[in-house]
């Protein structure tokens, strides 16, 4: 009898036991891979996507895959609309968080309504939405009018011009059907296979529609201290309401009743150095669309001073009489310490790593003096200067990737005292003294407030103490800062990764080159920037660059070389830690600009890391960065070991038709002019003597750039008329 009672009691308590273990899907998504979780939700797909099932509760979505070791019968039992409970192990499969193997499952009920798809734009796609059913308006296929002929990805673009991919598996209901020839409302589950993929389930997920949409989203022009102009376009004649305000929930409304395709409205009477949020509501034939709430900044009352520092000497002979604010480690350090000591109200620091006790002590002293000090550090990096923990608060972030920022914001609320520090330098002795870096100090309140917004998104609050529950890092962050500024009289763009599609902004800047594109990169693995450099090179621009890590997976070094681009491996002591590009510094009338910040040209910088990037449209600053580049370029080609242990000699010099190189080891040779253009190249067999026919090279001054396993050397020579 007691045994029967115990069995009955267990049977009655078993559902309660399961419920006690059940956690929200959003909580499960915060667990580390390898954790065993139990979640419940509504399945949003059946076998049209194969064995995998996606389920949602009210908090999030997740994938469940019956891999090896799973309880049998999962894929046969679970259909769309089933309420299910699943227990299994969390794994990451090509970026997709899924439960596999599934050790236990239960179908609780069937034929439930599916969760309402979330209305999003393609630009909103993030890890936070992974596993959920989404709806995207006005999607067009690149291959419109074709056929879903096989399994694979198909490119789509939405009304905002953002692109993405859908995936059709083998045996999918859409396989061998027509690709829609016009716009559709897309319903799909967000998945991932090294990059995001949208998974429609059947033909009803591609619903044809006559779309009403913004052909150009609200943007900003004519930025003044007391206002700016907002511009947007729609694909149909429309009236509009413009809402604006000093918070992300704008309430002041302007009615614009005139029906037009091209819209513009100038806001006046605003405060200088402030951020305003704007939203447009457009109406056409009873249909209403809303733009995103977008922040814009006015010009500030600040001085607009931009101080450029390098931690190693530059080539002043190519600087047109300009000089950086500093070109040594000591000068950079002194400026950092001065800015900290001068702070009156607040200091916000976001730094990847820090072993500098002197800088940390300066922050501690500022905290003692009553300045609010807040610090965001990377959980993945070493910051021994923060150990033991300082008295000011510190939050460590970005568990799956890197909090890779290197910025500091000082006194954002004081127009004449505020400063933003940016650039590529970490606060470590090696990075500051040995490696090659650039640092900017910018006195502008509008930019300071934008960087403060970005900081507080990671901090999780606008207060003194962080709020870990609200803090967002990496792919969880949103595009929620202004991007256009007038600092002094200089147009400046500010972009943060991974929310702001920074790779596209950098590629666009490169494609603006008319005459010259230079770059110095620690890591370069992204195709988009490489393709942009090749494009401007093919159009006649002179392109030169240096890369430190040419062995990174997916490195673009060999590809650029194969396309004729004059790119070099930075081979001398000290890492080339820069992440900058210089466009048209030699033509002041051609919008010279500099791209710089913490963002390497890599997949992780674009999609996962916390990064910051500035694009500065100014001839003088571009010239200063070019002087830094030229000094590094010359050092890289002349300061390494020669290919033999003794000097390489070219004879005759000047040369008419052939040159003989003596004392050369096995390697390669490239003949380039003073601008870096390659005229010919060849292989050195390693016989200590080599001959080259240079009759096809025009008369002029040249360099023979010789690479062997020993290093790189450059030998000048003159070619005279044959």
For 450, counting Cβ atoms within 10 Å of its Cβ (0-12 exposed, 13-18 middle, 19+ buried), the class is buried
User: Residue 656: what pLDDT?
Assistant: 85
Alpha-carbon distance 60 to 32, whole Å? Answer: 16
CA atoms within 13 A on the CB side of 582: 26
Same fold, 491-638 and 649-719: no
User: Nearest-CA neighbor of 338 among 414, 410, 393, 392?
Assistant: 410
Question: Edge-to-edge strands of the sheet including 678-684?
Answer: 678-684, 667-673, 700-708, 711-719
CATH topology for 24-109 is OB fold (Dihydrolipoamide Acetyltransferase, E2P) (2.40.50)
Instruction: Enter the tokens of residue 125.
Output: 């796609």
- Eight-class DSSP state of 340: H
Alpha-carbon distance 509 to 64, whole Å? Answer: 42
Q: Which residue has the tokens 């409302």?
A: 185
- H or E element that contains 359: helix 357-368
Instruction: Indicate the domain borders of the chain.
Output: 24-109, 118-208, 214-297, 491-638, 649-719
- Eight-class DSSP state of 30: T
Question: Phi then psi for 571, rounded to 5 degrees?
Answer: -110, 0
Q: Give me the DSSP letters along 158-185.
A: -TTS-EEEEEE-TT-TTTTSBPPSS-EE
Alpha-carbon distance 436 to 614, whole Å? Answer: 18
How long a stretch of residues is the chain? 722
User: Residue 687: what pLDDT?
Assistant: 65
Domain made up of 649-719: CATH architecture: Sandwich (2.60)
Helical pair 527-538 and 502-511, crossing angle rounded to 10 deg: 10
- Burial annotation 288-312 (CB, 10 A radius, 16+ → b, else e): ebebbbbbbbbbbebebebbbbbbb
Alpha-carbon distance 202 to 231, whole Å? Answer: 38
Domain made up of 214-297: CATH architecture: Sandwich (2.60)
Query: Mean pLDDT, consecutive 10-residue segments, the chain of 722 residues?
Result: 31 37 89 93 96 94 96 96 96 93 95 91 89 92 89 86 90 93 93 93 91 88 98 94 96 96 98 98 90 96 98 94 96 98 98 97 98 97 95 94 97 98 97 97 98 98 96 91 98 95 95 97 95 95 95 92 93 94 93 97 92 98 97 78 51 85 76 74 75 86 71 74 69
User: Nearest-CA neighbor of 649 among 694, 689, 698, 708?
Assistant: 689
Domain made up of 118-208: CATH architecture: Beta Barrel (2.40)
Contacts of 699 (CB under 8 A, 6+ apart): 719, 720, 721
The domain 491-638: what is its CATH number? 3.30.870.10
- Phi-psi category of residue 145: left, alpha or beta, with phi > 0 → left and psi -120 to 50 → alpha: left
Contacts of 361 (CB under 8 A, 6+ apart): none
User: Residue 368: what pLDDT?
Assistant: 98
> CA 429 from chain center: how many Å?
26
- Eight-class DSSP state of 346: E
Question: Phi then psi for 123, rounded to 5 degrees?
Answer: -65, -15
User: What is the distance between the terminal CA atoms of the chain, rounded to a whole angstrom?
Assistant: 113
Alpha-carbon distance 130 to 700, whole Å? Answer: 59
CB atoms within 10 A of CB 17: 10
Alpha-carbon distance 256 to 263, whole Å? Answer: 9
Contacts of 365 (CB under 8 A, 6+ apart): 341
User: Residue 649: what pLDDT?
Assistant: 75
Alpha-carbon distance 599 to 275, whole Å? Answer: 25
For 421, counting Cβ atoms within 10 Å of its Cβ (0-12 exposed, 13-18 middle, 19+ buried), the class is buried
Residue 537 and residue 515 in contact, taking contact as beta carbons nearer than 8 Å: no
Instruction: Enter the tokens of residue 231.
Output: 């511009």
Alpha-carbon distance 616 to 667, whole Å? Answer: 40
List the beta bridge partners of residue 65: none
């Amino acid at each position: 009898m007691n045994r029967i009672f115990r069995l009955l009691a267990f049977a009655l308590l078993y559902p309660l036991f399961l419920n006690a273990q059940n956690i929200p899907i959003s909580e499960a998504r915060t667990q580390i891979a390898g954790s065993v979780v139990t979640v419940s939700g509504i399945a949003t797909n059946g076998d049209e996507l194969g064995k995998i099932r996606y389920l949602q509760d009210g908090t999030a979505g997740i994938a469940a895959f019956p891999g090896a070791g799973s309880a049998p019968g999962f894929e046969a039992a679970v259909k769309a609309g089933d309420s299910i409970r699943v227990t299994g192990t969390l794994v990451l499969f090509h970026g997709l968080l899924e439960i596999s193997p599934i050790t236990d499952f239960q179908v609780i009920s069937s034929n439930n309504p599916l969760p309402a798809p979330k209305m999003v734009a393609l630009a909103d796609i993030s890890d936070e939405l992974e596993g959920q059913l989404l709806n995207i308006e006005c999607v067009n296929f690149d291959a419109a009018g074709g056929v879903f002929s096989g399994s694979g990805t198909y490119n789509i673009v939405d009304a905002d011009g953002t692109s993405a991919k859908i995936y059709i598996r083998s045996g999918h209901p859409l396989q061998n059907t027509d690709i829609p020839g016009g716009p559709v409302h897309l319903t799909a589950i967000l998945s991932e296979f090294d990059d995001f993929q949208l998974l429609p389930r059947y033909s009803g997920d591609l619903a044809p529609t006559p779309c009403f949409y913004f052909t150009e989203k609200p943007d900003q022009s004519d930025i003044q201290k007391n206002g700016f102009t907002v511009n947007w376009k729609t694909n149909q004649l429309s009236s509009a309401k413009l809402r604006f305000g000093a918070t992300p929930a704008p309430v002041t409304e302007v009615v614009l009743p005139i029906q037009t395709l091209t819209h513009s409205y100038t806001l006046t009477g605003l405060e200088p150095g402030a951020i305003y949020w704007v939203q447009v509501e457009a109406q056409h034939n009873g249909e209403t669309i809303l733009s995103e709430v977008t922040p814009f900044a006015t010009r500030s009352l600040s001085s607009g001073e931009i101080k450029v520092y390098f931690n190693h000497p530059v080539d002043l002979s190519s600087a047109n009489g300009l000089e950086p604010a500093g070109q040594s480690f000591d000068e950079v350090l002194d400026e950092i310490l001065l800015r900290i000591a001068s702070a009156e109200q607040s200091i916000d620091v976001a730094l990847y790593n820090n072993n500098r006790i002197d800088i940390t002590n300066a922050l501690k002293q500022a905290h003692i003096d009553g300045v609010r000090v807040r610090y965001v550090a990377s959980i993945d990096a070493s910051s021994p200067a923060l150990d033991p923990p300082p008295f000011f608060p510190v939050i460590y972030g970005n568990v799956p990737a890197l909090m890779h920022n290197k910025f500091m914001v000082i006194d954002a609320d004081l127009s004449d005292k505020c400063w933003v520090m940016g650039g590529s330098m970490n606060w470590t002795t090696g990075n500051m003294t040995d490696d090659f870096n650039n640092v900017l100090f910018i006195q502008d309140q509008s930019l300071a407030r934008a960087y403060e917004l970005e900081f507080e998104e990671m901090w999780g609050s606008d207060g003194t103490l962080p709020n870990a529950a609200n803090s967002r890092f990496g792919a969880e962050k949103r595009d929620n800062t202004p991007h256009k500024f007038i600092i002094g009289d200089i147009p400046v763009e500010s972009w943060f990764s991974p929310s702001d599609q920074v790779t596209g902004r950098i590629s666009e800047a490169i494609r603006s080159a008319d005459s010259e594109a230079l770059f110095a990169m620690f890591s370069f693995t992204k195709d988009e920037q490489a393709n942009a450099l090749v494009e401007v090179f093919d159009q006649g621009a002179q392109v030169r660059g240096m890369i430190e890590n040419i062995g990174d997976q997916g490195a673009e070094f060999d590809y650029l070389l194969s396309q004729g681009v004059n790119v070099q491996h930075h081979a001398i002591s000290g890492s080339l830690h820069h992440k900058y590009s210089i466009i048209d510094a030699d033509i002041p009338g051609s919008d010279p600009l500099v791209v710089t910040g913490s963002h390497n040209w890599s997949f992780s910088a674009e999609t996962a890391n916390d990064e910051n990037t500035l694009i500065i449209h100014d001839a003088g600053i571009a010239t200063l960065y070019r002087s830094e580049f030229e000094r590094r370029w010359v050092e890289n080609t002349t300061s390494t070991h020669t290919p033999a242990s003794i000097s390489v000699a070219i004879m005759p010099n000047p040369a008419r038709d052939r040159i003989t190189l003596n004392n050369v080891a096995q390697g390669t040779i490239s003949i380039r002019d003073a601008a870096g253009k390659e005229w010919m190249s060849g292989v050195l067999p390693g016989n200590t003597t080599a001959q080259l026919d240079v009759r096809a090279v025009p008369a002029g001054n040249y360099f023979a750039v010789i690479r062997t396993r020993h290093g790189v050397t450059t030998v000048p020579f003159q070619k005279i008329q044959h």
